[in-house]
């Protein structure tokens, strides 16, 4: 078997699989190397909320581009992604009102279907909610959530259909260079050769970059989600809800469940070894998530806890990704550090990464915002909110 390729992609999460698909469609001979199996890391365990609410023009454009792919996944990629358009609501208090309004104005300019709604409109949309402390709310009727595992496996299938060679159980253990140019990678299954290598290993992104002697500020952080079965009378799915006041998000899950997670900058402090962390949910997290949920959705006091899990965010200092050549002129690239909100951007990221790897003269997205040097330049990505962890 020849192990010579145009491009080697390390890591088969949504970024690696979608980029392999995009590159193979363009005619590249791609090897996609995954140390484990599909969907085991962040992508397969994502809450997979698909919303457009972003503070920067680039990320908002990427979210809109990606939404159109999720909506038409069968035609554009093939297979299923489980997109469920329940709608999306975000609520803030007075401190973030101006930021919310600025975001909505930006998004409308880009063609995103989003609108400020009054608290009485919100009450009509979600009558079960306690809205007494709300100042402003925004509603995106086209948004919702996808099935994360299905999305990743469909992208992998589409990539293989277009010619990508997928190698599971194939951990990259080293990166080889000659004369300052990347020539391939080492694995227990032997060497793979290519003049272009992409590190799309999410929470392992810093570890892989270190194999080439480059330090990147990506931390592997443990985050949790919990599930609650909605009580009688509340079986119908509800919109995705981002509660910036209670620093919580929740969405419907199949089986009459509600999935709850936090929107909490403090999650960046839970740095763990990505190969050795507790993947179960903590009892105190379930208590905390439940209390925040009940505060907003009082009927959930009658819900049943049905479990939860822990998984990894790949967090950078400004909670935005690094999409760049790691060593200028070397052919070694990175596309990682999506910090808890990358899933919904996956389709757009695949175009951005493919444009970067093929040196496209007219890229669809300008990736300057995601350059590695922004940290050394003290020019991080900034959002409209006091904390910009939602993008
Ligand atoms: C609980 C949770 C909820 C989330 N909710 C949302 C949400 O609602 N909306 C949203 O947009 N985003 C969300 N995210 C974030 C989103 O899921 C991630 O940003 C995205 O999945 C990152 O994809 P990735 O491909 O970069 O990384 P991953 O999916 O982690 O893939 C990286 C892959 O690299 C592989 N790898 C590592 N080292 C090696 C090696 N040496 N050799 C070969 N392979 C290697 C790993 O095994 C892994 O499969 C959430 C994340 C989590 C954990």
Q: For 328-368, give the DSSP string.
A: TTSSEEEEE--TT--GGGHHHHHHHHHHHHTT-SS-SS-GG
Protein residue with its CA nearest to atom 4 in ligand 1: 46
Does any ligand 1 atom lie closer than 6 A to the CB of residue 354?
no
Rg (C-alpha) for the chain, rounded Å, is: 21
pLDDT, mean of residues 190-202 = 98
Q: Residue 273 contacts by C-beta under 8 Å, 6 or more apart in sequence?
A: 220
Tokens of 194: 């290519």
Residue 251 · residue 187 · CB < 8 Å: no
pLDDT, mean of residues 183-209 = 98
Q: What angle do CA 130, 102, 123 make, to 5 degrees?
A: 20
Does any ligand 1 atom lie closer than 6 A to the CB of residue 311?
yes
Give the whole-angstrom CA distance, residue 181 versus residue 132.
60
Domain boundaries, the chain: 7-45+149-217+318-374, 86-144+219-315
pLDDT of residue 389: 57
| pLDDT over threshold 50, residue 7 | yes
pLDDT of residue 387: 47
Does any ligand 1 atom lie closer than 6 A to the CB of residue 146?
no
Q: Is 283 helix (H, G, I), strand (E, B) or coil?
A: helix
pLDDT, mean of residues 368-386 = 90
pLDDT of residue 1: 62
Does any ligand 1 atom lie closer than 6 A to the CB of residue 152?
no
Tokens of 276: 């050795």
Q: What angle do CA 295, 300, 306 make, to 5 degrees?
A: 120
Protein residue with its CA nearest to atom 5 in ligand 1: 47
| pLDDT over threshold 60, residue 386 | no
CA distances from 247 to 38, 205, 241 (A): 31, 27, 11
pLDDT of residue 134: 84
Does any ligand 1 atom lie closer than 6 A to the CB of residue 385?
no
Does any ligand 1 atom lie closer than 6 A to the CB of residue 341?
yes
Does any ligand 1 atom lie closer than 6 A to the CB of residue 144?
no
Average pLDDT, the chain: 96
Give the whole-angstrom CA distance, residue 118 versus residue 28.
50
**Centroid of ligand 1 to alpha carbon of 41 (angstroms):** 5
**Centroid of ligand 1 to alpha carbon of 113 (angstroms):** 28
Closest CA to 353 of 155, 144, 140: 155
DSSP state of 256: T
Does any ligand 1 atom lie closer than 6 A to the CB of residue 322?
no
Pocket test for ligand 1, best of 185, 343, 349 (most atoms within 8 A of CB): 343
Return the CATH architecture of domain 86-144+219-315. 2-Layer Sandwich (3.30)
Does any ligand 1 atom lie closer than 6 A to the CB of residue 313?
yes
Give the whole-angstrom CA distance, residue 222 versus residue 204.
13
Q: Is 259 helix (H, G, I), strand (E, B) or coil?
A: strand
| pLDDT over threshold 90, residue 136 | no
Residue 88 · residue 51 · CB < 8 Å: yes
DSSP alpha helix (H) spans, 230-345 = 283-296
Residue 49 · residue 249 · CB < 8 Å: yes
CATH number of this structure's domain 7-45+149-217+318-374 = 3.50.50.60
**Centroid of ligand 1 to alpha carbon of 302 (angstroms):** 33
Protein residue with its CA nearest to atom 14 in ligand 1: 340
pLDDT of residue 95: 87
pLDDT, mean of residues 299-327 = 97
pLDDT, mean of residues 354-377 = 97
Give the whole-angstrom CA distance, residue 214 versus residue 60.
30
Give the whole-number percent of the chain exceeding pLDDT 90. Answer: 92
pLDDT of residue 154: 98
Closest CA to 310 of 251, 223, 221, 204: 223
pLDDT of residue 96: 87
Is the C-alpha dihedral spanning 15, 84, 127, 300 positive or negative? negative
pLDDT by residue (tens digit) across 51-94?
999 999 999 999 999 999 999 999 999 999 999 999 999 999 88
Residue 276 · residue 204 · CB < 8 Å: no
Q: Is 122 helix (H, G, I), strand (E, B) or coil?
A: helix
């Amino acid at each position: 078997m020849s192990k010579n390729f145009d491009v080697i992609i390390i890591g088969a999460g949504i970024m690696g699989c979608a980029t392999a698909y995009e590159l193979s469609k363009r005619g590249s001979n791609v090897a996609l190397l995954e140390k484990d199996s599909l969907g085991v890391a962040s992508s397969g365990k994502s809450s997979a909320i698909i919303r457009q609410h972003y503070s920067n023009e680039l990320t908002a454009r990427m979210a809109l581009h990606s939404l159109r792919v999720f909506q038409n996944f069968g035609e554009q990629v093939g297979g299923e992604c489980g997109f469920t358009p329940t709608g999306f609501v975000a609520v803030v208090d007075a401190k973030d009102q101006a930021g919310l309004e600025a975001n909505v104005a930006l998004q409308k300019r880009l063609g995103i279907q989003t609108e400020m709604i009054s608290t009485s409109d919100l009450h009509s949309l979600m009558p079960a909610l306690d809205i007494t402390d709300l100042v402003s709310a925004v509603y995106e009727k086209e948004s919702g959530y996808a099935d994360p595992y299905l999305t990743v496996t469909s992208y992998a299938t589409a990539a293989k259909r277009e010619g990508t060679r997928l190698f599971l159980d194939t951990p990259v253990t080293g990166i080889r260079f000659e004369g300052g140019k990347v020539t391939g990678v080492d694995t227990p299954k032997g060497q793979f050769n290519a003049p272009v290598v992409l590190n799309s290993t999410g929470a392992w992104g810093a570890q892989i970059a270190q194999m080439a002697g480059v330090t990147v500020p990506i931390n592997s952080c443990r985050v949790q989600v919990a599930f609650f079965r909605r009580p009688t009378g509340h079986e119908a799915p509800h919109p995705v809800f981002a509660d910036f006041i209670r620093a919580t998000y929740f969405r419907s899950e199949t089986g009459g469940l509600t999935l709850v997670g936090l929107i909490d900058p403090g999650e960046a402090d839970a740095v763990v070894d990505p190969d050795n962390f507790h993947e179960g949910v903590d009892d105190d997290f379930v208590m905390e998530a439940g209390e925040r949920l009940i505060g907003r959705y009082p009927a959930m006091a009658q819900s049943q806890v049905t479990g939860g899990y822990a998984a990894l965010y790949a967090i950078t200092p400004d909670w935005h990704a690094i999409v760049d050549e790691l060593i200028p002129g070397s052919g070694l690239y990175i596309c990682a550090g999506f910090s808890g909100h990358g899933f919904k951007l996956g389709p757009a990221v695949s175009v951005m990464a493919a444009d970067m790897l093929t040196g496209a003269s007219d890229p669809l997205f300008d990736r300057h915002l995601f350059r590695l040097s922004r940290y050394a330049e003290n020019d991080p990505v900034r959002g409209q909110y006091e904390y910009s962890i939602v993008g």
